[in-house]
Chain A
Amino acid sequence: MHLTIEELIDLAERTSEQSRHPHLQSCGLCRHQLAELQSALSAAAEVEVPEPSPLFWKHLSERIHDAVAAESGPPSRFTNRGWTFPSWRGLAVAGAAAAVTIAIYLTIPQSVGQPAGVQEISAVPPEAEAFPLSDDDPSLALVADLTSQLDADAFDETGWSSHAGAVDEAVVNLTEDERVELQRLLNEELAKS
């Protein structure tokens, strides 16, 4: 029976003795495989990473220091509550998306007999399906712009999810300070549109 992958790796790395595998003496295929592994291993092992100039390390640590400082951001009224830059970006995105949602809602024709403003924002009337959401809609472009800088982790930190009513929940859960800021963002975005 031929040697397993694990046995071959252990032999190639010399963490196992060849004498423990008598099969190796009689099997040319396993010997060949082992020789190939050892050859690739030594070829890879002798390659060094080009060493940057001594100044490089100083510049890199300075770059990281600056990036971390920017990450921490200047003191703000949220700082003492542990708010960080990603959360702040998340709030901006949430604000913009809420503005778009409200703008779409306001421009959709209301159902006959349905008092305006009674429905929840997430409960979009059937007419909304016919609402022409164009790809070049500037409000969508705004959200795209704001979210383009978010990676998966940052997106997670926004607390956003795709379920119905997520925006409503987010707005309801805001603190007074956050609500004031959201209102400011909404006013800003609505003034632009």
Chain B
Amino acid sequence: MPTRLDAETCLADLTESALVEACLAGRPGAFDLIVERHQRSVYHLCCRFVGNPEDASDLSQEVFLRAYRGLRGFRGGSSLATWLYRIGVNVCLNRVSARTPLDGTTESVDDQQYIDTRTESAPERLIKQQRGARVRAAIAALPRKQRATLILRIYHEMSHQEIADVLGSSVGAVKANFFHALSNLKKQLASEVL
């Protein structure tokens, strides 16, 4: 009879699609493993989208809840990560459209205390933190599709085609959104030395 440890070991060895199957079959721990594997990237996506950790945490939970509800609809046509990003972008877009102005613009320096900056001096660290907060706030203030495109392209290294799939648009539209996102970002940061 397999022990709990054996079962977990087996789960960890499963391929992505087999893990989804295990989850749909009601195997204990299967969805927990999906969460464990993807929570960091989903959280980062949400955090970059809304600009503050508290909302990002709530949104991440919402993303996984929706994923759990819709797991049966996952066909394996894309990777699980891409599928989760698609849900994440939709959740973030819905949240952003329901909130104006963005809470992200209120990010404090205290929110950045966990960045590993041990090799930097205190003034360098402070300047970098302030600069990072300004860029994050500028990104969080971009129009929604531009923001989604920029985040997925730069931070999640998705191809233009993958982004087009996530956003339900064309590669041309993705490149146009990316162009305008970068142009607007540049304008918003114009007062700073880039």
Residues on A close to B: CB < 8 A? 5-6, 8-9, 12, 36-37, 39-45, 47-53, 56-57, 60-61, 63-65, 67-68, 71, 84, 86, 151-153
Contacts and interface: CB of A to CB of B under 8 A. Distances in A.
A44 B185 contact: yes
Contacts of A153: 66, 69
25 contacts: A5-B179, A6-B172, A9-B178, A36-B182, A36-B183, A36-B186, A39-B194, A40-B183, A42-B194, A43-B185, A43-B186, A43-B189, A43-B194, A44-B139, A44-B154, A44-B182, A49-B44, A49-B155, A50-B111, A50-B113, A52-B53, A61-B35, A67-B61, A68-B65, A152-B94
A14 to B, nearest CB: 13
Given A37-B182, A61-B36, A9 B175 contact: yes
The winner among A36, A44, A53, A152 for most chain B CB atoms within 10 A is A44
Interface string B28-57: 000110011001100110011000010001
Interface string B1-43: 0000000000000000000000000000001100110011001
A36 B186 CA distance: 7
A153 B87 CA distance: 12
Interface of B: 31-32, 35-36, 39-40, 43-44, 47-48, 53, 57, 60-61, 64-66, 68-69, 94, 111-116, 131-132, 135-136, 139, 150, 154-155, 172, 175-176, 178-179, 182-183, 185-186, 189, 194
A56 B54 CA distance: 11
B185 A40 contact: yes
B94 A44 contact: no
Given A43-B185, A60-B57, A151 B135 contact: no
B70 to A, nearest CB: 8
Which secondary structure dominates chain B's binding surface?
Answer: helix
Contact of A60 (B48, B61, B178, B182): B61
Nearest to B110: A50
Contacts of A8: 179
B132 A47 contact: yes
A44 B60 contact: no
B32 A65 contact: yes
Given A9-B179, A60-B61, A40 B69 contact: no
A40 B182 contact: yes
Contact of B64 (A9, A40, A68, A86): A68
A53 B113 CA distance: 9
A37 B183 contact: yes
Contact of B39 (A9, A47, A60): A60
A41 B154 contact: yes
A44 B134 CA distance: 10
Nearest to B192: A43
Contacts of A41: 154, 182
A64 B62 CA distance: 8
B106 to A, nearest CB: 14
B69 A86 contact: yes
A148 B115 CA distance: 39
A36 B47 CA distance: 26
A50 B113 CA distance: 7
Nearest to B113: A50
Nearest to B189: A43
B61 A37 contact: no
